[in-house]
Amino acid sequence: MALSSDIDAGMKRYPLQDLLELRRRDEESAAKAWAAARRRVDLAEAEAARIAARAAEARDRLQRAERAVAPTGPADALPTVTGAELAVGARYLTRLRVAATRAAAERDAFRKGSLAAAREEERRAAESLAGKHGAREASEQHEARFRADERRGEARREDEVRDDAAGAAHHARRPGPSRPG
């Protein structure tokens, strides 16, 4: 498959053109894969923030409840609380502690699991893209050297043709040796 620039310039087709086109397509594909991985990281980070906010809210709810039950004044000024009320309050605090612990565990598990996996996938995709980019650049540099060699060869052939034409013109003007008769 000759490029229009090859045809227009009347230049020889680059022998590794198919490889160059393959490397360009590979780089484009790797760029799309990296962009998709980046989007997944963004979504995972948003989910991690949502889970962390839920964990912080559960922790805050527990701390508020603990402060509400803690005695804050002199013992004689505190209202009398029955054993049943203490038991209900203790069960409520236990439920809040369990909820806060679960929310923190979910947050940590998500960070270590899904978020870490998304970031690792994005890192691998970025490395792949960098490799494909380097391979394409190497192929394009090789093509540029090939084209430069072609131009130098063409210029050298044109110089030789000019030299040959000048030499032929010089010899045509010069009288030949006289021959004895």
Count of other CB atoms within 10 angstroms of residue 71: 9
The answer to pTM > 0.75 is: no
pLDDT score recorded for residue 111:
97
Tokens of 142: 């090789």
pLDDT digits (tens, 9 = 90+) for 89-101: 889 999 999 999 9
Q: Scanning the structure block, which residue is given the tokens 């038991």?
A: 87
Judge whether 93 and 59 are in contact, CB under 8 Å.
Answer: no
Q: What is the C-alpha R_g of the chain?
A: 40
57 lies in a domain? Answer: yes
CA distances from 15 to 133, 139, 165 (A): 20, 11, 32
Count of other CB atoms within 10 angstroms of residue 69: 13
Number of domains in the chain: 1
Q: Percent of the chain, pLDDT > 70?
A: 83
Judge whether 150 and 12 are in contact, CB under 8 Å.
Answer: yes
136 lies in a domain? Answer: yes
pLDDT score recorded for residue 69:
78
pLDDT digits (tens, 9 = 90+) for 142-164: 999 999 999 999 999 988 888 88
103 lies in a domain? Answer: yes
76 lies in a domain? Answer: no
How many residues are listed for the chain in this entry?
181
CATH number for 92: 1.10.287.1700
Tokens of 121: 């996938």
pLDDT score recorded for residue 86:
79
pLDDT score recorded for residue 177:
65
Q: Which pLDDT band holds residue 1 (cuts at 50, 70, 90)?
A: very low
Decide if pLDDT at 61 tops 60. yes
51 lies in which domain range? 14-70+84-166
Rounded-to-integer distance, Cα 3 and Cα 12, Å: 10
1 lies in a domain? Answer: no
Rounded-to-integer distance, Cα 79 and Cα 69, Å: 12
Q: Which pLDDT band holds residue 168 (cuts at 50, 70, 90)?
A: confident
Q: Which pLDDT band holds residue 60 (cuts at 50, 70, 90)?
A: very high
9 lies in a domain? Answer: no
pLDDT digits (tens, 9 = 90+) for 5-50: 554 556 688 889 999 999 999 999 999 999 999 999 999 999 999 9
8 lies in a domain? Answer: no
171 lies in a domain? Answer: no
Judge whether 177 and 44 are in contact, CB under 8 Å.
Answer: no
Judge whether 48 and 107 are in contact, CB under 8 Å.
Answer: yes
Q: Percent of the chain, pLDDT > 90?
A: 63
